[in-house]
Structure 1
Amino acid sequence: MKKDYYRKVAFMGMLLIILLAFQKYTSKNKEDFSDIKFIESSASIELSEFDPNDLDKKQWKNLGFSERQVETILNYKNVVGGKFISKEQFKKCFAVSPDKFSELESYILLPESNNEAKSGGFKNFDKKSITISGKFNPDSYEVSDWMKMGFSERQAAAILKYKGFLGGSFISKEKFKECFIINEENYKKLSPYLILPEKTPTNFRSFAKNFNAEKSKVQYHSFDPNTLDMDGWKSFGFSDRQAQTIINYRDRNLKGSFKNLEDIQKCFVISAQKFEELKPYIKLSQSTDSNNQFKKTEIKQEKTDFSKTDLNTITFKQLLEFGLDEKSAGMIIGFRKKLGGFVNKEQILTTYNIDKELVQKLLSIAPLNTANVPKYTLTDAPEEWLKSHPYFKYSADKIIFYRISEKDERKIWKLLKVKPEYEARMRLYLK
């Protein structure tokens, strides 16, 4: 009996040792994520809409994930079939913390749930195709230039922010490719047209400093844009091609001369930032006597009764007549056109770059008629109107998608999840 007892104990001990050895062996194949630290939300990361199925390793890292986290996300994508089908599925990847997912959620171009994806009701948000007219230096491009190419306003702003991070220049095609906003497909389209070296110089930080130093060497002085030649424009920091474009614009489009500051501002190779730098030094030649101009203005002022002039029909010239400068008048007319008309006077005061004190005086005198301002419901608003209206354009694709299956506006508002202040602005233009 004692022998049988010891045999059983020995057998159990050997079995336990074998199990422990087997467990230790199989655990080697499991990944150790003990060193993973989730990236916290960072205001320094400029986000824009993206499809997580399009991103490569560099783009995930530029989005704020560590190298180990990126590997985990890509492995998880392979596990679920090589493609994320919904936000719900992406959220389950444990390399994406709840805080990080919350930060990214509104930018992810995927259906909300697996059921929504499988039902086939989800239609991917349209991706604008990139159009390139010819070779260009991305260092000289502003937000408007990138938007003309096909990027959204937020994407264009993110590209410029990345350029600023590099020191004011993209340095090389290699560095340009690392920009999170530029996916592989768009880079392949852009690459042949980029006027940049292929590889990054080993001392690219000092190169960036030298680049900024060169920019700061530009010496501005008073000048008449109607008599400035090509060398003169180049001395202000414009390239040969830009200088020639400005001269062609002046001589051909404007028949030989800039009539006012607005004409100069409209030239597309002169960015808003560059115009502000040049503006204090611009001295336009005047062909008419200043006293006569004053008399004409005085006569015009007598003709306009601003207490009877509707702010939704007031003209550019009438705003100048009231005393606003050309920039303020242009900004008000432009903002009104984008909105389709003002619905309250407070909106006019939110217009950028205006003389608010003078505008406040105008608002206290002039009436505002809102009868002709177009208004819609979320379910019947035209797609073009939604995509172009300043208050709706960032939510336009979502509204168009959600209203396919939802006709109750209250439910659509819940799905949109916009901030209360944005919703209040949008409701101004809804029935």
Structure 2
Amino acid sequence: MKKNYYQKMAFLGMLLLTLLGFQKYSEKSPETFPKVEFISESLHLKSLSDFDPNDLDEDQWQKLGFSEKQTATILKYKKIVGGKFLSKEQFKKCFAVSEEKYSQLSSFILLPETNSEAKENSGFKSYEKKSLNISRKFNPDQLSQNDWENLGFSEKQAAAIMKYKNYLGGSFVSKEKFKECFIINEENYAKLESYLILPEKTPADTKSGKSNSIKSKTLQTSFDPNTLDVNGWIALGFSEKQANVIVNYRDKNLKGSFKTLEDIKNCFVISSEKFEELKPFIRLNPSTMAKNSDEKKPEFKQEKTDFSKIDLNSITFKQLLEFGLDEKSAGSMIGFRKKLGGFMTKEQILETYNIDKELVQKLLSIAPLDNSKVERHTLVDAPEEWLKNHPYFKYSADKIIYYRITNPDDKKIWKFLKTKPEYEARMRLYLK
């Protein structure tokens, strides 16, 4: 009896203590936790100066407070948008640049605010607010790139103005033509106009538009095409690239000299219109023609290739030189074709490194492509050597060889490979 009594009393005591403890806990005010604040590295604004994000390298981005990973993301994003940030708006969209970071840097970035403003500025740094320094009247034809920079234009703008002058044939001709230079906006032209020593209007007999249009003052005397170097052809109104093609054509294809007017006419970069302009002034001097014992033989005459009938998968190195490509471009194109086993599409040709894309684009518009003889396989039966050597397959070759042992089915192998869509598209060009 006593034992049961004491057990009951002990239980009631414990219950009472529990109730008292709960009451005291419930009366306590809730504890407040300290506020968590994230500390971010911020730059002292005084240490910042105006900058163009297109000019920064990896180290410079990190000095602005970005981590190594953020820097890599920014540089990769720049490549994705075309290798150059066009505006602040575009830069801000990079997810590695936080709102806080952007607001800190924004006022120092030398870029237009929006993409539309960037297009109006033609991609050049006209947003740098430089005033033009003009003290006297001048003939713009006589200014060098350095002179344009001293006037207040940026290096790229000055280079663009010089390029435009060359495009016109070495002279701006008139204020009207000068105003058409896309890098000179309305505001700058208004400041320059009264200082320009140029006629107001373009003379009626002046041909517009192309760098290879020849002005009558250039051809006041005759010339020997066999004594002209690259600069000589440029002086006649050709671009530097065209001049190099002409000299290369004369020295390599024609073995050192033009023998007839037809030889000159057959050069790819000399149009029929151009040839007719040159023709009255051309003087072929026998003493400057390269000596060749076979010179008079009919088979020595250069035959102009009809490139509309030449298959791009069989065109030769020599024919590419004849078309106007230099040895580097021609060699790269032939080499890439050999590695691929043949081109399947014309677009592949433009992916070739070290080629003159402008000339190659012209070739693609003329010459056909026959891919019927190009080697193709399935993933299951493709030879191991072919997979390991083909530019499109070699990085996935080991996986393909491994997966097809237990899964001899192309669809299943593709699932296991999980390649990027653009890589898969290129690989499928060479599959049955």
Give the alignment's TM-score, normalised by structure 1.
Answer: 0.34
Bigger Cα Rg: 2
* TM-score, normalisation: structure 2: 0.34
The structure with higher relative contact order (CA 8 Å, sep 6+) is 1
- Return the structure number with greater helix share: 1
